[in-house]
Structure 1
Amino acid sequence: MSLPDDASSLRARADHQAIDDAETISPHTAFAAIRPELWLALHRLGFAGGKVIVQGDGADALLNRPGADVPGTSSISATVGHPKQRHLVDPNETFRGGLDAYDAAVTVMPMADIELNTPAAIVQRTLIHAALTWATLRMVRPGGLAAVITNHMTLDGNTPRSREEIAVLGDLLGAVRLPSGALRPQMPGTDAVTDILLFSRRPQGQPSRSRDFIDTYAVPIQGRYIRLNTYFDTHPEHVLGLSGAIHRVAGGPILTVTGRPGRMASELHQTLGHIASTAQHDGLVQPPAETPPGMGVLAIHKESKVPHATAQLATRAVRAAAQNQRMRRGPGVNGLSMN
């Protein structure tokens, strides 16, 4: 059933306002807290130093770079390792990056934590996040690791074909579902549920040993049915809080995760550690020979930052989807519907 024009307009304006508001504040505080746990998990999954690329809003904080508090979308190509691993940096090397070039990649998806209201915009974002997840895997070498911080619809969306395409390239090692508002808790409209997904790039010809993440199913939550990925049915302990549902006047209910106050950091440490240890136990990854006490940036190969996310094609596409849906559902000439 079509919504009245004023309702569609309100939803489109709400989406635009949420995007605009999110661009004014960087989630660097949250990513600074996530940073040590994420790199420790990647190390335990087999990353022992090497070439990395970190992209998205919060990339600076994930590499502890200057200017992390300035809102914007960054792309940083670097060599990361323990301070004693200076042999990883060749002063005569001109590293250009590209496909199959990195030992590890981390991507923070655009608008990952924004609560969108327009169905067309939600679908557009879900497809963009799936495509960028595929592209992130394509950038790491076979056997390399990829971490993506994305909206929960990458796993929960009714888009199994997109996840099948991702599974062609890589194996899901594990996923963590963060509490609502984990990245920008001080901002209204940025309390969408986000996930941390950990992948390994599968060498060509090797059979898949991925955790199951293709299918979804409808589950009752607080009297409403919400579609969830089978991964979290198998691993409910990887949800850092209590799953719930918020009813909307138009459209389906919204998934929420209510975290336990003051426990996200410790629960993230425990959950990522469990993912790494079970991946090692199941033979999905080979742990490094030794665990250095800490890793950092040894060299920067290329670094860029776009001041506003609106310059990114992904955000433009979602804005356009929200606007176009409003126009399609609005009254046409002489009051006739344009559907």
Structure 2
Amino acid sequence: MEPNPGPVPDPDLAVQADLAATHDHDQEDATARHEQIASALWVALRQLGVTGGQMLILGEDPEVYAGLPATERRIPHGTTAELTAPVPSTRWPHTGLPLRRPLNLDPDPFDVVIDNIPSNDMVLRSTEASEKHLEYQQLHVLGAIGLTRPGGIIALLASSRLLDHPDQRTRLQMEGAVDLLGAVRLPAGALRRTPGNDGPVDLLLMLRTWPVTTTFADSWPVTLDGTTVHLAEYFNDHPEHVLGTLTSQTNPWGSPTTTVVPHPGDLLPQLQAALNDITSSAHTRKLITQPAAADLDAPIGYSITEPETQIPRVNAERPVGELDEARAVVGRRRAQRRSTRPTTSSDPAQRARETHGDPETPGL
């Protein structure tokens, strides 16, 4: 006789847990941690050759990741926005940086794109919410790549599921368009500590290039604490870039996942050491930012199969169609959001300033 597995948890409880996590996410401020991550990130970007050009900052706390001092920030903590500015020539913090909202829905590719993907630390329990959360992370990644010029740098803060999830198709699209310079996995609770908001987050550094030289699409089954979970091949090869101890986390409503128990001590020195290792490796491999030269429509090499099958490492001459599509989706969402933004003035010029910001005045 088969053993009784016990009662199946009520799916409605998963939905309630997700609602509570969403509420708590909006209440808990992660700005102090974002400031630490951003300061270490900009040191790494400088080491990778970022000295000029135009940058796009997406996601949560964009002023923080642009390096704007706290005294000059105008957006409330935790707000999601899209901002552009010239890459600052000054050292951190970037005082007086002329941040603006993008006026063009389809801008020229940027030299640097930094995307702190919203809700990247959330751990959602219901099947539908969890799938949508992963899809949202994937869309942001592909959109960020599509908005970066060849030779440019992409820095992402994404859910650890982006690299760990068994479905490799999005990673294969990434792999065909960028070289992964490196990734750092932050421990659980690094950004927020409330239940449902304490998921591990990965900081990825990528170079938009063709042809690519790195592979990172695979995610392998591994056993952690007697439980089988999927782990990204990158962290299987580079455990030193996991800022803590890898372990498994059960989910009453789904498959177990990986999590990271933090190491003792301050997180910032650990992050700085990992990023320094990544930038040193990038220089050794000659993978640093380059002057703009290539065409965004250059073919990329990858093939997509079902995640249960072996992924063939073959080159297929294929334009960056999926990236262009993701880029178009980003543009449509921007346009839709702006078209529904309420206005309070009957003056057309004033409404334009409320929608797009004053083009003559630094700031938003």
> Is contact 1:280–1:286 with CA below 8 Å preserved after alignment?
no
Query: Letter of the aligned partner of 2:211 in structure 1?
Result: P
SS in 1 for 2:28: coil
| Residue 35 of structure 1 pairs with residue 38 of structure 2 | yes
Residues 100 and 144 of structure 1, relative CA distance in 2, 3 Å threshold = farther
Distance 2:211 2:39 in 1: 32
Question: 1:166-211 deviations in whole A, cap 9, x for unaligned?
Answer: 22221111110001011123x3321111101111111xxx32112x
Residues 287 and 236 of structure 1, relative CA distance in 2, 3 Å threshold = farther
SS in 2 for 1:23: helix
> Is contact 1:113–1:190 with CA below 8 Å preserved after alignment?
yes
Q: Which residue of 1 aligns with 2:213?
A: 209
> Is contact 1:100–1:142 with CA below 8 Å preserved after alignment?
no
> Is contact 1:99–1:140 with CA below 8 Å preserved after alignment?
no
Residues 166 and 287 of structure 1, relative CA distance in 2, 3 Å threshold = closer
- Between 1 and 2, higher relative CO (CA 8 Å, sep ≥ 6) is seen in 1
**Which of 56, 60, 63 is 1:57 aligned to?**
60
SS in 2 for 1:36: helix
Q: Which residue of 1 aligns with 2:287?
A: 284
Q: Which residue of 1 aligns with 2:119?
A: 111
Query: Letter of the aligned partner of 1:209 in structure 2?
Result: T
SS in 2 for 1:155: helix
CA RMSD of aligned residues (A): 2.7
**Which of 63, 76, 79 is 2:83 aligned to?**
76
Q: Which residue of 2 aligns with 1:253?
A: 256
The 5 Å alignment of 1:127-206 reads 127-185=135-193, 187-202=194-209, 206=210
How far residue 146 of structure 1 moved from its aligned partner, in angstroms, is 0.4
**Which of 7, 11, 16 is 2:10 aligned to?**
7
Structure 2 runs not aligned, ≥5 long:
1-5, 92-96, 292-335, 338-364
Distance 1:208 1:247 in 2: 36
> Is contact 2:250–2:257 with CA below 8 Å preserved after alignment?
yes
SS in 2 for 1:110: coil
Distance 1:5 1:224 in 2: 19
**Which of 47, 59, 70 is 2:50 aligned to?**
47
> Is contact 1:45–1:276 with CA below 8 Å preserved after alignment?
yes
Query: Letter of the aligned partner of 2:110 in structure 1?
Result: Y
> Is contact 1:28–1:68 with CA below 8 Å preserved after alignment?
no
Q: After superposing the two structures, state which structure 1 stretch, 101-110 or 58-67, moved more.
A: 58-67
Q: Which residue of 1 aligns with 2:239?
A: 236
> Is contact 1:15–1:118 with CA below 8 Å preserved after alignment?
yes
TM-score if structure 1 supplies the norm length?
0.75
SS in 2 for 1:213: coil
Question: 1:204-241 deviations in whole A, cap 9, x for unaligned?
Answer: xx32112x310111100001011011111111111000
Residues 77 and 218 of structure 1, relative CA distance in 2, 3 Å threshold = same
Distance 1:214 1:228 in 2: 11
Query: Letter of the aligned partner of 1:73 in structure 2?
Result: T
Q: Which residue of 2 aligns with 1:101?
A: 109
**Greater fraction of residues in strand:** 1
Question: 1:116-135 deviations in whole A, cap 9, x for unaligned?
Answer: 11123222222221121111
Structure 1 runs not aligned, ≥5 long:
289-310, 313-339
Query: Letter of the aligned partner of 2:145 in structure 1?
Result: L
Q: Which residue of 2 aligns with 1:121?
A: 129
Residues 105 and 47 of structure 1, relative CA distance in 2, 3 Å threshold = same
Percent identical pairs in the alignment equals: 30
> Is contact 2:152–2:290 with CA below 8 Å preserved after alignment?
no
Residues 25 and 68 of structure 1, relative CA distance in 2, 3 Å threshold = farther
Number of aligned pairs?
277
Residues 287 and 213 of structure 1, relative CA distance in 2, 3 Å threshold = same
Q: Which residue of 1 aligns with 2:325?
A: none
How far residue 287 of structure 1 moved from its aligned partner, in angstroms, is 8.6
TM-score if structure 2 supplies the norm length?
0.70
SS in 1 for 2:145: helix
SS in 2 for 1:81: coil
Distance 1:195 1:10 in 2: 28
Question: 1:40-95 deviations in whole A, cap 9, x for unaligned?
Answer: 111111211221111111222222441465332121111122239xxxx99xxx98
Q: After superposing the two structures, state which structure 1 stretch, 221-230 or 250-259, moved more.
A: 250-259
Distance 1:60 1:286 in 2: 23
SS in 1 for 2:39: helix
How far residue 263 of structure 1 moved from its aligned partner, in angstroms, is 2.9
